[in-house]
Structure 1
Amino acid sequence: MTNQTFTGSEPTWANACVGDNGQPNYIEYSKGYSKAANLLLNNVLNTRGKEVDLYIYPICFNMRHSIELRIKEAIQEINELAKIKNEKLPSFDLIGSHDIGNIWSYFKENSKILDIRFKMLNDKLDATIVDIAEIDSTGQTFRYPFNNKHKKHLVDQKIINCAILKIRFTELEKNLDDLIHLIDLLIDEYKLGTFTSKLSRAQIFNFAKLLPSYHEWSKTSFKEIKEDLKLKYNLSNNDFSKIVNHIRNNYELSYKIGLNKNLAFLSDSDILAVCDIWVTYFEPKFRELYNHTDLVSEDNYSDQIEEWIKSSELHKKGMSLLENNLSADYVADLKALYYLSINQYQYSENYIFRFKYFQNEAKYKTLSDSLDHLLSKGTFLEGLLKSLFFLNQIDLAEKIIKIYDLETIFDFIPQARQEKNFKHFELLGY
């Protein structure tokens, strides 16, 4: 028999999606309890404490349960992080455990083992979660008036101030949101593979700042620097070599030690040639695009058609000039450079990942069509330049700017010159 109480019906806007009709996880559940707690808290504060003695129990229960669910989600995610790092965390019964003190202790201890960057947020969260654990360790205090031994709850507490609860809960929610965000960022970061058993990617970035130019590594003074760094970071010779290899193979890091790392396939002359063809045959009026100037009058349809025909013919000429260079690697590198710029320049490793992806994609697509589609984009030159700066191809980027007098067209150029590579997320500590 169909359940007559928990069922779908009209009006459809009142139907909530649950179970497999959606993808609810610990976070989705926690947000519901959190919103319920805040609605009740706001009501108490806006009515200057009307029925506060009744509302306090669902307020605190919903708050506490929301926190428990968020920490359980965090535990699930650090286990995923551990797998990426090829480490194994102690087992923990997420479903059966409701002691928020034990749940928090498990997360706090194991997260900082995986990455030291958890410590700052853990410290911010610790006092409030410990307060919650102290007054309601298992989620029963605000659920029932008595415990299973018939002892009344909250006898020693007597008063709970909802204004203080609001302040503390708001801060706690923000820090927990930051914690989940940090875990997601760390998972993405570790997936890049730029880490060792001793140092994270961010630590390798800071390590690179302490190294002299690569050209000085043969000098006697470098041996002293190496030994000092090994001692400071507790590294073996093998550890040191692994870190150095990551630095030499990374576009952002190799530049810091004076190495100019080449693009995946394209040479400087290849890039300059395709820029010339793009400016001449694909977007000869690209300056007007950035000046927000209409290229064709809308009320003259015949002129518009003539412009399209002319543009198509120019495209064909441009493609004919590129035919001799067409290869899977050539097209893959151009596409990798362009689409890297669209992804907000988070990691230079993504450039190589994209190059390999587009290499494989070339097996199933016509190279000329793929290249024509790419070069037909009005932002091709802008995207290319942004990626060249980010990958520290500085001389090549500056040459392109000078050839086509791009100083007044692209407003990102001053920032690109100043930063050389763009800022990473502040939470990650770069």
Structure 2
Amino acid sequence: MTRGNTTFCGGEPTWANACVGNNGDPGYWDYAKGFSQAANLLIDEVLNGKGFTYAFDELIYPVCFNMRHSVELRLKGAISVLVLLEKFRGRVFEFDLEGSHDIGNIWRFFIEKSRSVDDRYNEIVDRLNAKILDIAEIDVTGQTFRYPINRESQKHLVDVAIINFYNLKESFSEIEDALDDLHRLNKYLYDEYWYGTFTKRLSRKNIFYIAAQLPTRDQWGKESFVRTKSEIKEMFNIGSKELSESIKIIQGNFETAPIVGISVPLLGVSETILIDFIKHWLKRHNNNSDTAPIGLGSSIWGSEDMLESISRDAEVQNEVWENVNSFLTPQIMAGILALFHFARELDFSEHYIHIYACALQEVEWAFKRPGSDAREQFMYVFNKTNAVDSILKSLYFLKQGEVAEMLVSTHGLEKRFPWLDEARSGGLFRKPEYYGYAK
């Protein structure tokens, strides 16, 4: 039995308790942010006091140690993501994340592996390289700012003599900005690779690039198509089999199929179904204003008494359910749910397919159960004030612009949504530049 720890424990006030271990499940990123925030706080305190409140010569060591350790942890966290990305491809590599503290070796390993995994790391590697080498040059293993002498009893930093806090702040800010972008890119790539849209040598970004180079499907029997395929194979160093695999992906992807003149049908729903859904939805939510955006703070009460409004809404719901119940199927319901939920995170059209599959499984079970489960599934979306907003955004993202425009025109929604023009141009869904997709 171990004694009760009275130092590293919870206590009062409870707002001062920090979560550690499995309580919050912190990883490399959380630790790294803690050390970097500590460094920045110390830098700002020293600079604000101009050396009178806190001593430059004493705080330089914890500041630089925290900076360096934060960078080491962030790089190790980035490598752990590379390991996961390679697993998606069925490949394996290992790195001693716990045992290695040589930041130069860690950085060289990251450069080598990141470039073999995905070329979108190159831009951030270029931004970081000189700064990481600065750290590696002055503190290879994390001992320089930790102890005054090394293991050979030699004094640290004798060739440096002076370190400027302003320079530290500026340089570390640049490092943090690049590492923050690296962290965001890692999270994005993990989600991207999770959906499996890649081949042995080609990433999803590469496949999207290939789609932009191909002629439309009706031109694929011509000699120009043969030349284009040869150029693509040479550019990416791939064979005919892998190119055919990528073209197959292109034809089935909601975002790339229209580029080659192919339309991928929506899942579970048709234009007619969506027209009917919105028609009924307007009975429930239309506030009779030609300019007020639906789902953006409009009120369902108006000047009516609340009880009368509740009664009216119930009548509308009953009337609508009587109408749709005769033709509503699990596929239709799952299709509506997928378009509604997909708008929460418009990143990958593959996610829409995943949402539909999950929704269909849940809805099929609901339709088999007795009672009002199917009605509850329908009313869940029908009663949402942002239902049409979400459905239209999903349609534009999925390159179903003709369907979306038909719905807007049919129901007079042109002035209802201030984001329409941005959705039409694609600007609403634009990704950061380093994600690698064409604007």
Specify the TM-score bucket, using the shorter chain as the normaliser. Answer: over 0.9
Q: What displacement does 1:419 show? A: 2.4
In the superposition, the TM-score normalised over structure 2's length comes to: 0.91
What's the counterpart of residue 154 of structure 1?
A: 157
What's the counterpart of residue 34 of structure 2?
A: 32
The one-character-per-residue Cα deviations of 1:119-159 (angstroms, maximum 9, x if unpaired) are: 11111111111111111111111111111111111122222
Is 1:54 equivalent to 2:45 in the alignment? Answer: no
What is the distance in 1 between the residues matched to 2:77 and 2:11? 32
1:23-422 to 2 correspondence within 5 Å?
Answer: 23-50=25-52, 51-89=55-93, 91-279=94-282, 281-285=283-287, 287=289, 290=293, 294-296=299-301, 303-343=305-345, 345-365=346-366, 366-419=373-426, 422=429
Q: What displacement does 1:236 show? A: 1.0
Q: What displacement does 1:117 show? A: 0.7
The one-character-per-residue Cα deviations of 1:290-334 (angstroms, maximum 9, x if unpaired) are: 376655356x6xx33223222212211211111222221110001
- SS of equivalent to 1:342: coil
The question of whether the paired residues in 1 share the 8 Å contact of 2:293 and 2:418 is answered with no
What's the counterpart of residue 20 of structure 2?
A: 18
1:217–1:297 Cα change, 3 Å: closer
The question of whether the paired residues in 2 share the 8 Å contact of 1:392 and 1:421 is answered with no
Q: How many residues align?
A: 424
The question of whether the paired residues in 2 share the 8 Å contact of 1:8 and 1:15 is answered with yes
Q: Runs (4+) of structure 1 moved beyond 6 Å?
A: none
The question of whether the paired residues in 2 share the 8 Å contact of 1:327 and 1:367 is answered with no
What is the distance in 1 between the residues matched to 2:160 and 2:359? 63
The question of whether the paired residues in 2 share the 8 Å contact of 1:337 and 1:384 is answered with yes
The question of whether the paired residues in 1 share the 8 Å contact of 2:111 and 2:125 is answered with yes
What is the distance in 1 between the residues matched to 2:335 and 2:241? 33
- SS of equivalent to 2:326: helix
- SS of equivalent to 2:70: helix
- SS of equivalent to 1:251: coil
The question of whether the paired residues in 2 share the 8 Å contact of 1:101 and 1:130 is answered with yes
Q: What displacement does 1:284 show? A: 4.5
The question of whether the paired residues in 1 share the 8 Å contact of 2:268 and 2:333 is answered with no
- In structure 1, list runs of 5 or more residues that go unmatched: none
The one-character-per-residue Cα deviations of 1:57-84 (angstroms, maximum 9, x if unpaired) are: 1211111111111111111121111112
What is the distance in 2 between the residues matched to 1:412 and 1:100? 46
What is the distance in 1 between the residues matched to 2:164 and 2:399? 56
The question of whether the paired residues in 1 share the 8 Å contact of 2:123 and 2:434 is answered with no
What is the distance in 2 between the residues matched to 1:293 and 1:351? 28
% identical aligned pairs? 39
CA RMSD between the two structures: 2.1
Shifted more, 400-409 versus 239-248: the winner is 400-409
- SS of equivalent to 1:276: helix
The question of whether the paired residues in 2 share the 8 Å contact of 1:216 and 1:222 is answered with yes
What is the distance in 2 between the residues matched to 1:207 and 1:351? 22
- In structure 2, list runs of 5 or more residues that go unmatched: 367-372
What is the distance in 2 between the residues matched to 1:388 and 1:286? 25
